[in-house]
Chains A and B, each alone.
Chain A
Amino acid sequence: MSRDNRVLLLIGSPKKAGSTSESLGDYLLGSLGNKGFETEKIQVVQALRTPEGISELLWATDTADILLLVFPLYVDSLHSGVIRALELIACHRAELKQRRRQKLVAISNSGFPEAHHSEVALAICRRFAGQAGFDWAGGLALGGGEAIAGIPLDKAGGRARFARQALDMVADALEKGMPVPQEAVELMGRPFIPKWMYIWFGSMGWKRLAKKNGVLHDLQCRPFE
């Protein structure tokens, strides 16, 4: 096969299971698998726990043609474990004698409903690509990621409709050797419900969880004052 063949999905959520990152990543990886790509998935934060996990991560990044880094927004950036992985990968690649052309696509999801909160995090990914010798193939951001919360995208109904369309476009583009199309970026960032409704559902959700844990009345406490 002359085109890029191996795709590596790097999940950048610290959650072992049930992350929105994994829902997004699995959907895209599934589409690429159906198009004949060889696929592999690594949970980055878990991989860093052992020397074997780190070696496997470095080996997999060396041999992939396309890397998909899918992560949640953490304090306007990436989770500390993912930054650690990027530091290790960049350091490892600086020592490589030969590097092939490899692409990096990054997909962020944030708790806040506006996709643009992820702009800085995607800029960090793009800078990483430049510094570690990957071709930057584009970044996408989903706002209101908590609405998906690990549900497989094809079972997530209307709330994931734009995400699915966007990822289908990304899969088609990658198959053709093209970068992420702007139309996909716009679709991924399109709100699936009005902002006020997301805020309302969010508040109800936090209260419900707090009630379940018996701390509803302590929700606003200030233990460090």
Chain B
Amino acid sequence: MKALLLDGSHAGDKALLSARTILSDELPAKGWTVEGVTLRDTKIAQCIGCFGCWVKTPGRCFMNDAGNDIARSMVRSDLLLLLTPVTFGGYSSELKKALDRVICIVLPFFARISGEVHHKPRYQRYPALVAIGSLPAVDEESEGIFRSLVSRNALNFFSPLHEVKMVYDWQIPDDILMTLKPVVEMRRSGNVAG
């Protein structure tokens, strides 16, 4: 079982650092191989919106940098872990620069899913999606937006299951471990409860 961890945290985000350490320690103990990418240290060009990854070099971006590596790892993984400070309810710009580059993993063609228009899948399987968002303190409005965003992404990236976990700056690593326990114990075919 392979997990791709995209770390969109700012330097010094203690809660996300704890979360990453826990996931990197605990998941391998449960049989996962974890590939971690610290996005703030990774050069990824921003998407320029040309749709070349659909109609010029189908399935990959012409800018051959870590953006393509991440897209490749994503379709070869069972689990995609997103770590991000919750930013106005959404992802940090660091995480988003990677996610904007992965639309090459779906087809340009449209399909109807539950009456709504979405893209058709390019690949046969896609990873489960777990997003871990950090906040200075409980903020229901931001958390609600964050949960909606993750479930919309799960729909658009054909994730077989998705889950959101919140961590807070004031939490000690043991609290964060408790929050992430269901993630650490998940199976690809199972679900992330708790």
Q: Which residues of A contact B (CB under 8 A)?
A: 13-15, 19, 45, 72, 74-81, 83-84, 86-87, 90, 112-114, 117, 119-121, 123-125, 127-128, 130-131, 195, 198-199, 202-203, 206, 209-210, 213, 215, 218-225
Q: Are A78 and B59 in contact (CB under 8 A)?
A: no
Q: B75-100: which residues lie under 8 A (CB-CB) from chain A?
A: 75-76, 87-93, 96-97, 99-100
With contacts A87-B92, A223-B60 known, is A120 near B46, CB below 8 A?
A: no
Given A75-B103, A210-B58, A222-B75, 8 more contacts at CB 8 Å?
A78-B90, A80-B47, A81-B46, A124-B88, A127-B89, A195-B117, A213-B55, A224-B75
B88 CB contacts on chain A under 8 angstroms: 83, 86, 90, 124-125, 127-128, 131
With contacts A206-B55, A206-B108 known, is A120 near B152, CB below 8 A?
A: yes
Q: B15-30: which residues lie under 8 A (CB-CB) from chain A?
A: none
Q: How far is the CA of A100 from the CA of B109 in the complex (A)?
A: 46
Q: Are B46 and A14 in contact (CB under 8 A)?
A: yes
Tell me, yes or no, whether B41 is within 8 Å of chain A by CB: no
B180 CB to closest chain A CB (Å) equals 24
Q: How far is the CA of A220 from the CA of B75 in the complex (A)?
A: 15
**Residue of chain B at shortest CB distance from A79:** B100
Q: How far is the CA of A197 from the CA of B91 in the complex (A)?
A: 33
B97 CB contacts on chain A under 8 angstroms: 80
B117 CB contacts on chain A under 8 angstroms: 112-114, 195, 198-199
Q: Are B55 and A123 in contact (CB under 8 A)?
A: no
Tell me, yes or no, whether B149 is within 8 Å of chain A by CB: yes
The tally of residues in B whose CB lies under 8 Å from a CB in A reads 48
Q: How far is the CA of A121 from the CA of B107 in the complex (A)?
A: 22
With contacts A77-B149, A80-B100 known, is A210 near B55, CB below 8 A?
A: yes
With contacts A120-B152, A124-B90 known, is A206 near B109, CB below 8 A?
A: yes
With contacts A72-B49, A87-B92, A127-B145 known, is A213 near B100, CB below 8 A?
A: no
Query: Which of A79, A125, A130 is the most central at the interface, judged by chain B CB atoms within 10 Å of its CB?
Result: A79
Q: Is the interface of A mostly helix, strand, loop or mixed?
A: helix
Q: Are A124 and B60 in contact (CB under 8 A)?
A: no
**Residue of chain A at shortest CB distance from B59:** A223
**Residue of chain A at shortest CB distance from B111:** A199
Q: Are B87 and A83 in contact (CB under 8 A)?
A: yes
Q: Are B122 and A75 in contact (CB under 8 A)?
A: no
B93 CB contacts on chain A under 8 angstroms: 80-81, 83-84, 87
Q: How far is the CA of A86 from the CA of B122 in the complex (A)?
A: 33
**Residue of chain A at shortest CB distance from B10:** A87
Q: Are A75 and B99 in contact (CB under 8 A)?
A: yes
How would residues 111 to 133 of chain B score, 1 for a CB under 8 Å from any chain A CB and 0 otherwise? 00000111000110000000000
Q: Are A224 and B59 in contact (CB under 8 A)?
A: yes
Q: Are B153 and A221 in contact (CB under 8 A)?
A: no
Q: Which 5 A-B pairs have the closest CB atoms?
A: A84-B93, A80-B96, A80-B97, A224-B72, A209-B55
A219 CB to closest chain B CB (Å) equals 5
